[in-house]
Amino acid sequence: MTANEIITSLFVFALAGFLGLEIIRKVPKLLHTPLMALTNALSAISLVGSLVILGENQTTYSTILGFVAVVASTINVVGGFLITDKMLRMFRRAPRPAAPAGEEAKP
C-alpha cells in the first residue's frame, strides 16, 4: 500500500466519521432506539471485518490496525447494547402492588 493510498483511505475515513456524526445529530429522540439497533448491527459487521483483517496477519501495520479496530468495534457493540437495554427498561410497566391481606385480587 502506497503513501497516497493510505492518505486517501484516512481522508475517506475522516470524512465518513464527520458525515456520520452530522447525520446522527439530526435524528429525533423518538427514533433513537431503532437507530441504536441499526448501529449495533453495523458495528457487529465492522467487528467481523476487523477480525478478518486481524486474522490475516499480513503486515505489522495491518495487524495493529486490525487490533485497534477489534477493540473499538467491541466497545461500540457492547456500549450500544447496554444503552439500548437501558432505554428499553424505561418503557417497561411497573409491577402491580400486592393486594392487602384479606382481600382478593380483582382480575
Domain ranges within the chain, ordered by starting residue: 29-90
From residue 84, give the alpha-carbon distance in Å to each of 6, 45, 70, 90: 35, 18, 21, 10
Return the DSSP state at 83: H
pLDDT of residue 29: 67
Q: Which residue has the higher pLDDT, 20 or 3?
A: 3
C-alpha grid cell for residue 88? 428499553
Q: How confident is the model at residue 31 (pLDDT cuts 50, 70, 90)?
A: low
pLDDT at 100 over 60: yes
The closest of 37, 40, 65 to 52, measured between CA atoms, is 65
Among 2, 84, 1, CA closest to 43 = 84
Task: Tell me the H-state helices in 26-59.
Answer: 32-56
